[in-house]
């Protein structure tokens, strides 16, 4: 079990680290309001909007989590040269995230997820996205920018939301650049199952993503329950497919399943007591775990830190981050959202 003193030692060392996050950038927009009547036009609630906020989403949220935990962070991705892209850039810069690795494209709309919230409940989510395919010159510039940042990094996170940023060329560029150095690379997957990822340190799928990547689920039926037998079977498949040093499957209310390349596997119970919003919880897990590994944590210590971090953010409304102080309190048993 992770001791409070060891946790504080690891958390303190986060400020000495610099991570690079590569992946699908998004802007998460929230419209908050109240709903006290049904529309006469259709059986849906009428939401009276009271306020609107925007936060970094997707890979940008991973970078925000890294920054909130005290480390320096660069982000590389693709956005549109539009108002939403400018808003995302402003948010990243306000968080002291280096966004010089972001390729801004003309005639491309920045990916935006708009969530309409009524009385702390999500009523609907509206997604706006389009293909992020680059032409050869754009690809060259994007890969050159990734190389420049990875050379100076203490860790890299590959964040895949299935929008097209994380191609095999991008993965190969990262893995080739870090090969001479013992730098951890984390992968947070979505539906991009054809990527060759041999050489990564950490993979953090949620249960549905793990089943899908293992070929056990196609999204057309309820996901199989994570029984002990099923967990082992899926872990065996993903360890062979991705060959990570460490596989962490997030299981929602059941916690996380830790499967190292060497050593025993174990289920670590959830640290969340109340769950208000799971948006971006996986982003928090990969950010906290990869930072911990870069700081010298063992696999189990990194998993514990990621588990506590997830327990904190799901107790908040909207796409959220956690601070080192919140993590320290949670590990010490003082957090308000800890069992």
SS3 percent helix, strand, coil of the chain, rounded to 5, is 35, 25, 35
Q: Which long-range contacts (CB under 8 A, 24 or more apart) does 98-101 make?
A: 98/72, 98/73, 98/74, 98/149, 99/74, 99/75, 100/74, 100/145, 101/20, 101/74, 101/75, 101/76, 101/77, 101/145, 101/146, 101/148, 101/149
* DSSP 8-class letter at 129: -
Element (H or E) spanning 258, and its range?
A: strand 256-260
How buried is residue 242: exposed, middle or buried, by Cβ count under 10 Å (0-12/13-18/19+)? buried
Is the separation of the CB atoms in 291 and 19 below 8 Å?
yes
Catalytic residue among 74, 283, 299, 329: 283
Residues 266, 272, 275, 280: what is their CA dihedral angle, to the nearest 10 degrees?
-70
Cα distance between residue 327 and residue 123, in whole Å = 30
Contacts of 316 (CB under 8 A, 6+ apart): 276, 277
Q: How many CB atoms sit inside 10 A of residue 84's CB?
A: 18
Tell me the C-alpha distance between 23 and 222, whole Å.
28
CA-to-CA distance for 158 and 204, rounded, in angstroms?
11
Say how many Å lie between the first and final Cα of the chain, rounded: 15
Q: Is 48 helix (H, G, I), strand (E, B) or coil?
A: strand
Taking the mean position of all CA atoms in its chain, how far away is CA 270?
A: 18
* Catalytic site includes residue 144: no
Q: Please give the positions annotated as active site.
A: 283
């Amino acid at each position: 079990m992770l001791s409070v003193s060891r946790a504080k030692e690891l958390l303190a060392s986060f400020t000495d680290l610099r991570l690079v996050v590569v992946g699908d950038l998004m802007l998460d927009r929230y419209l908050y309001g109240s709903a006290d009547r049904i529309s006469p036009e259709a059986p849906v609630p009428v939401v009276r909007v009271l306020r609107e906020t925007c936060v970094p989403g997707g890979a940008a949220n991973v970078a925000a989590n890294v920054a909130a935990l005290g480390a320096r962070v660069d982000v590389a991705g693709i956005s549109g040269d539009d108002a939403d892209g400018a808003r995302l850039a402003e948010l990243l810069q306000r968080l002291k995230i280096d966004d010089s690795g972001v390729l801004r494209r003309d005639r491309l709309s920045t990916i935006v997820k708009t969530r309409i919230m009524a009385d702390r409940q999500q009523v609907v989510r509206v997604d706006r996205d389009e293909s992020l395919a680059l032409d050869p010159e754009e690809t060259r510039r994007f890969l050159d920018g990734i190389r420049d940042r990875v050379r100076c990094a203490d860790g890299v996170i590959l964040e895949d939301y299935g929008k097209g940023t994380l191609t095999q060329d991008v993965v190969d560029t990262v893995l080739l650049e870090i090969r001479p150095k013992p730098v951890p690379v984390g992968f947070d997957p979505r539906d991009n199952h054809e990527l060759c990822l041999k050489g990564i340190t950490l993979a953090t799928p949620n249960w549905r993503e793990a089943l899908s990547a293992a070929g056990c689920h196609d999204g057309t039926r309820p996901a199989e329950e994570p029984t002990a037998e099923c967990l082992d079977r899926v872990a065996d498949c993903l360890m062979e497919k991705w060959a990570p040093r460490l596989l962490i499957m997030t299981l929602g209310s059941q916690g996380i399943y830790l499967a190292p390349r060497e050593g025993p596997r174990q289920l670590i119970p959830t640290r969340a007591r109340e769950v208000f919003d799971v948006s971006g919880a996986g982003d928090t897990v990969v950010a906290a775990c990869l930072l911990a590994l870069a700081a010298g944590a063992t696999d189990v210590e990194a998993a514990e830190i990621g588990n506590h971090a997830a327990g904190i953010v799901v107790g908040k409304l909207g796409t959220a981050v956690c601070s080192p102080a919140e993590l320290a309190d949670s590990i010490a048993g003082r957090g308000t959202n800890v069992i």
